[in-house]
Structure 1
Amino acid sequence: MRVLVLTTWFPDANTPSKAPFNLLHVQAIAQRHDVRVIHFQLGRTGPVTEENYDGVSVIRAPVSPRRPLQALTAIRLLAVGLKTADVLHTMAFTSAVAAAPAAICHRTPWVHTEHWSGMANPASVSKKWAAFAWLRYVLKLPDAVTAVSSAQAEQLRRFARRRGLSVVPNVVLSQDSLAERTGQKRGVVRIVSVGGLITRKRPALALETLRILRTEGVSASLTWVGDGPLHADLEKMAAAAELASEFSITGLLPPDQVAAKLRNADVFLLPTHHETFCVSAAEAIAAGIPAVVTDLPAVRDFLTEKNSVLVSAGRAEDYARGVLLALERFAEVPSSDIAETVSLRYSPTAVAELFSDIYNHIQRFTK
């Protein structure tokens, strides 16, 4: 089929780490279908550009309230694309809002994929979003809506068509080489965390976990892969706790370098407060390292006793015990056994099959 993807979240040369999950979904769909992407670049100005990004044909259309004519150009691009598309597939909530007028007029079969955690609790995002949260009912318009986890699907149930809601997980790529996890034998436990340095990810709790482990005599280090507004605060906290040499922040890295950091670790730690899927934990498992993550409904789809330790309480002491338990439980478990728990279920081929089934269903349903 000819699939037109509209998204407001998509990586580019300047921000290769932005929404890599959407790129992986598009690449998976492209295994079976002819895919074109229109990327509405919200808040940007400039000309419309077209490129091949990592094997994907992408038209980038800046959309800014300061340039109303640019918004009209973007909408016109979408309308033209819909004339030859068999399926419209929007990815990210703002994409569904942007697509609604044109999609209603053209009645192209429409699938929407949602990743955003802000859909569940608008007040946790901002007062402005809470005031406009009624816009979530735009998800009644697509013929099918997919969530990336069972927990997120339950959250979206009242905003989407009841019979049109299903789960299609994020793609988790298999690694050519897996983590060796030799840190314990060398006497240094390498812990890695991946995510934004934002309050919801609770990086300060990860740092406190490191401090407790070292206080208890565990020679451990923590590398946080990512960046965000808490960067400077975390570095000050590390210095105050005399952990500056054991704690490092890499900043934003492209996916291949993130994978390399995971392969170089012994255990993954993320004391996050809320997730819709937790791609970074799944990628850690795919790299062959056990994960220590908050026990959240969204991660229970793929984190089990075969690959992780889930922490119910929210104290650093509990995460420290989780790290020690993971090191003990998986000390003799080959990295390949850990990786196999996600490698087939979340492969591009498996995800492509799920989307294809949905496309075929709505094609029949809308005829």
Structure 2
Amino acid sequence: MAENETKKRVLIVTRWFPSRSAPGTGIFVFRDVVAIASKYDVTVVHLGEPHLFESDLDNELTWAKFKVIRVPVAFASGYKSAFAARKIIAQQLHQADLLQTITVGAVTPLIGMRVRVPWVHTEHWSAMLRPPHGTLREKSIIRLLRAQLLRADAVVAVSSYLGEAIQKYSRKPVRVIGNQVTMPDTVYADTPWDFGMIRMLGVSNLTASKHPELAVCAVAQLAERGYDARLRWAGSGSMHKKLVTLAAKLGVADRVEFLGQLDAAQLAVEYNRANIFVLPTEFETFGIALAEAAVAGLPVVTGDTGAFVEFLDPASTEFVPVAEYYQNRIAAAVGGLLSRTNLPTRAQIAARARARFDESDRVGKYFELYDGLLAARKNRARR
């Protein structure tokens, strides 16, 4: 960019973004914004659930490289309140050179709104993988939102697994640009594993589709087999009380700890102290926690469905068929890792995983996409 050239202005509209109330929500979106803001003048409009902003609007997080506008939107109320954001988005669009929406819910205020700038949509949402569900009204809303993707000039999916599913909602080929995977600073010793204590780590929201209860049960089953097994789980959610009760019922309350939402530095500590990563998820459109466990050099126990199958190394991963989750397979999979005589060392797992995630190439794909659309718009204006 020439010294006197003004940065192009990018408006990012997203449903997911970190706040003081929920620092871990949308961390992958935050990382993309930081990368995009290294080249463009970025404003973020965060359409978040009102409860996430309870302490944020008067005590806002600030970033030097970009601006964030919080707009409380109660999506559960039939998406009506999302239209209150239309005025703010319209004002910001008037000043923008390019629009970037992230997840299909973020396009709600744009229904019926004319977008005069190039529009890129990035999709993460797992619901795009399955037919609309819920009430007739909810199904209709989801179909309407999906149809809006036909309006975007380019659609990006965070994995080919998700991209194949949403291709039907785009007139042009869906591009695949993965999430950023944070590389730890730690240099791991190339030494054999010591599983005298099995220090399992799980990272995700405490929700049904992640099946944290199976990890708790695995601790009890491993303890019954004579292993000194422990579990620490980073994340929060509606299942917390149920899981605490389950751990007590199984007699492993002293072996299971729920850590709540952790920031990046705290997560790095947890990855370093663990020696096995466990996430019995039903599926993932990418699987950042799984990727970060791998670059931290951890053997992994997880399901067999999702984008992560593309990047996790079978040499250090036990892929459990999701259909067999409730057949005591999580504990058996942990045992399978322990019994592998050729399990790569932590240093080897980390090195192989890090080679799969090139951040400069990933960000470069966004820059190439943005610049191409901006140049095409400029050429059209000259005609």
Into which bin does the TM-score normalised by the smaller protein fall?
0.7 to 0.9
Partner in structure 1 of residue 333 of structure 2:
322
Structure-to-structure mapping, 1:29-178, within 5 angstroms: 29-43=36-50, 52-53=62-63, 55-63=65-73, 74-102=85-113, 105-121=114-130, 129-135=138-144, 136-161=146-171, 163-177=172-186
**Letter aligned with residue 41 of structure 2:** D
- Alpha-carbon offset, residue 282 of structure 1: 0.8
Match among 24, 41, 44 for residue 31 of structure 2: 24
Unaligned runs of 5+ in 2: 1-7
Q: 1:51 to 1:85 in 2, by over 3 A?
A: farther
Query: Does the aligned pair in 1 maintain the 2:229–2:255 contact within 8 Å?
Result: yes
Q: Which has the higher contact order (CA 8 A, sep 6+)?
A: 1
Query: Does the aligned pair in 2 maintain the 1:48–1:61 contact within 8 Å?
Result: no
Question: Secondary structure at 1:169's aligned position in 2?
Answer: coil
**Letter aligned with residue 14 of structure 1:** S
Partner in structure 1 of residue 4 of structure 2:
none
Match among 242, 245, 264 for residue 233 of structure 1: 242
Question: Secondary structure at 1:274's aligned position in 2?
Answer: coil
Cα RMSD of the aligned pairs, angstroms, is: 3.1
Unaligned runs of 5+ in 1: none
Query: Does the aligned pair in 2 maintain the 1:192–1:267 contact within 8 Å?
Result: yes
- CA distance in structure 2 between the partners assigned to 1:91 and 1:296 by the alignment: 23
Match among 1, 9, 27 for residue 2 of structure 1: 9
- CA distance in structure 1 between the partners assigned to 2:192 and 2:87 by the alignment: 56
Match among 181, 189, 212 for residue 203 of structure 1: 212
Q: Could you tell me the percent identity over the aligned residues?
A: 31
- CA distance in structure 2 between the partners assigned to 1:224 and 1:276 by the alignment: 21
- CA distance in structure 2 between the partners assigned to 1:54 and 1:213 by the alignment: 48
Query: Does the aligned pair in 2 maintain the 1:206–1:316 contact within 8 Å?
Result: no
49-58 or 260-269, larger mean C-alpha shift: 49-58
Q: 1:128 to 1:119 in 2, by over 3 A?
A: farther
Question: Secondary structure at 2:216's aligned position in 1?
Answer: helix
**Letter aligned with residue 57 of structure 1:** K
Q: 1:48 to 1:320 in 2, by over 3 A?
A: closer
1:339 equivalent in alignment to 2:350: yes
Query: Does the aligned pair in 2 maintain the 1:149–1:301 contact within 8 Å?
Result: no
Query: Does the aligned pair in 2 maintain the 1:24–1:171 contact within 8 Å?
Result: yes
Q: 1:43 to 1:309 in 2, by over 3 A?
A: same
Query: Does the aligned pair in 2 maintain the 1:31–1:352 contact within 8 Å?
Result: no
Question: Secondary structure at 2:169's aligned position in 1?
Answer: coil
- CA distance in structure 1 between the partners assigned to 2:64 and 2:343 by the alignment: 38
Give the TM-score of the pair, scaled to structure 2.
Answer: 0.84
- Alpha-carbon offset, residue 128 of structure 1: 5.7
Match among 238, 242, 252 for residue 251 of structure 2: 242
Number of aligned positions between the proteins: 363
- CA distance in structure 2 between the partners assigned to 1:110 and 1:177 by the alignment: 39
- CA distance in structure 2 between the partners assigned to 1:118 and 1:309 by the alignment: 26
Query: Does the aligned pair in 1 maintain the 2:83–2:108 contact within 8 Å?
Result: no
Q: 1:348 to 1:314 in 2, by over 3 A?
A: same
Give the TM-score of the pair, scaled to structure 1.
Answer: 0.87
Q: 1:126 to 1:32 in 2, by over 3 A?
A: farther
Match among 291, 297, 309 for residue 300 of structure 1: 309
Residue deviations 1:89-133 (CA, integer Å, cap 9, x gap): 11121112223444xx24211111111112223556777633422
Query: Does the aligned pair in 1 maintain the 2:315–2:344 contact within 8 Å?
Result: no
